[in-house]
Amino acid sequence: MRFPFWIFLLFPALELVVLIKVGGYIGALNTLALVILGMVAGMAVVRRQGFRTMLKAREKMTHGEMPALEMLEGLMIALGGVFLMIPGFITDFFGVALLIPPLRKVLLRRMIKSGRWQTQQSSTTFEGDYYREDIDSNRGINQTFEGEFKRKDEKKSQ
């Protein structure tokens, strides 16, 4: 399904209509405050969830697996953040929907099932020298040096 160009013209007009209607009910300053509050709160949630998804992806990589689903989930979180940064209530709705983890997982499963996004899950593991911490003794990673030491105080006790 192709995305028609006229949607880019219709969507901002629809956002303006909703903003004007909401502003008529609750007032212009309250509407502006809601839009700004939505941006700030949404970006805080995006930062937290994005960091959590990054940690899950890194954990998978250290176990030798490709973090394909985590990467797609991170993309959806970033898209939710972009929607929250765009002023308007319709885009805020879509942004919040992408930031709710159970809803995001359902959307992700449906998109993968429909064939729009594809992940390649293989039974082989991904092992690269970059992700393995216990190898590469030539560069001095995780080497143990034995020896004795004495602490010299700069000021001698009197």
Other residues' Cβ atoms within 10 Å of the Cβ of residue 147: 4
The residues spanned by each domain of the chain are 9-115
pTM for this model (two decimals): 0.62
Q: Extract the tokens encoding 7.
A: 């949607």
- The pLDDT profile of the chain, 158 residues, written as one tens digit per residue, is 566 777 788 888 999 999 999 999 999 999 999 989 888 888 888 888 888 888 888 888 888 877 777 888 888 888 888 888 888 899 999 988 888 889 988 888 888 787 766 555 444 444 443 333 444 444 555 556 667 767 777 665 55
Q: Please list the alpha-helical segments (H only) found in the chain.
A: 7-26, 28-62, 68-85, 89-99, 101-114
